[in-house]
């Protein structure tokens, strides 16, 4: 058995592809579009929508995302945290998630260089390792070269980061425009991680922008829990080395589907409670309704 080839210059120039037939077959298998349509229709009820998409529920998702991505960096964290530095990192990540959500509320949102820089700056606000470098710029010729721990590729050269970022954003808005959303997101995140446009926090920033793209298209934000972190990293690596993002797009779709399963349970509980309240209201006496009963 031989190791996978490293990312070579020749391989790096090959466009990302995907197997649309396999991807669409998987979407049918998990009934994703049916779930999506069902939940959107149910959420026309303002009271139900407020119940299942409350600020508190969004906050829980953001916190789970923050802790999972901090684990992605090699730490095993729980919430709340005792260590002040870890607590600050978590709070910064949460604030960045909130800002990413605000960006998603823009009609037809597509990431820009300024969005990338802004989210990463919030994310690294209290990061000691990058404190001596400017946070409101991309990695450039004045920044040191980052060596990636996994070792299967070297990041884009400092002097080429801005050009490569511009090409990534152009492909997202033009070349990849007609791709299914999850495929478009998989290509975007893979290329983002390949470029390493920031001094630190590249995966986290890329995935926050992926969530913005999902949310502006009426899909939920996602996070990768403890059981999916290795799968996420493997998908990014596979996409980069094979140029095929199909498995990564399927992983994104699967995370959305699992979230929908939880939402559908919440809807079921909400509607059962509403039905019970209606029955009780119909069977109560006039005195009970007025509150004057014993």
What are residue 14's phi and psi, to 5 degrees? -80, 130
The pTM assigned to this predicted structure is 0.86
- pLDDT exceeds 50 at position 77: no
Any idea where the domains of the chain sit in the sequence?
Answer: 9-257
Nearest to residue 115, comparing CAs of 211, 235, 252?
211
- pLDDT exceeds 80 at position 289: no
Q: What is the pLDDT of residues 278-288, one digit of tens each?
A: 887 778 656 55
- pLDDT exceeds 70 at position 158: yes
For residues 285 and 81, which has the higher predicted lDDT (pLDDT)? 285
Q: What is the pLDDT of residues 141-157, one digit of tens each?
A: 777 666 655 567 788 88
Nearest to residue 79, comparing CAs of 96, 52, 97, 61?
61
CATH class of 9-257: mainly alpha
Instruction: Give the percent of the chain with pLDDT over 90.
Output: 49
């Amino acid at each position: 058995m031989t190791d996978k080839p490293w990312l070579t210059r020749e391989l790096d120039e090959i466009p990302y592809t995907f197997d649309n037939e396999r991807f669409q077959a998987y979407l049918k298998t998990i009934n994703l579009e049916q779930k999506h349509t069902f939940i959107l229709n149910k959420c026309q009820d303002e009271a139900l929508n407020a119940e299942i998409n409350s600020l508190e529920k969004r906050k829980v998702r953001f916190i789970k995302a923050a802790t999972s991505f901090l684990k992605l960096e090699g730490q095993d964290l729980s919430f709340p945290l005792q260590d002040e530095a870890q607590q600050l990192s978590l709070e910064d990540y949460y604030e960045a998630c909130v800002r990413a959500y605000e960006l998603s509320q823009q009609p037809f949102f597509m990431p820009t260089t300024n969005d990338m820089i802004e989210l990463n700056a919030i994310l690294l606000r209290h990061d000691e390792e990058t404190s001596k470098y400017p946070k409101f710029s991309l990695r450039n010729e004045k920044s040191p070269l980052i060596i990636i721990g996994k070792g299967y590729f070297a990041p884009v050269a400092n002097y080429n980061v801005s050009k490569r970022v511009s090409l990534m954003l152009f492909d997202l808005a033009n070349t990849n425009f007609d791709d299914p959303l999850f495929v478009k997101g998989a290509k975007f995140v893979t290329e983002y991680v390949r470029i390493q446009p920031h001094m630190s926090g590249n995966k986290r920033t890329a995935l926050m922008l992926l969530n913005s793209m999902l949310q502006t298209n009426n899909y939920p934000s996602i996070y990768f829990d403890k059981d999916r972190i290795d799968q996420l990293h493997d998908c990014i690596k596979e996409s980069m080395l094979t140029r095929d993002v199909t498995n990564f797009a399927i992983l994104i779709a699967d995370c959305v589907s699992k979230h929908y399963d939880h939402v559908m349970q919440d809807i079921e509980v909400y509607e059962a409670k509403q039905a019970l309240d209606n029955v009780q209201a119909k069977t109560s006496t006039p005195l009970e309704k007025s509150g004057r009963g014993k």
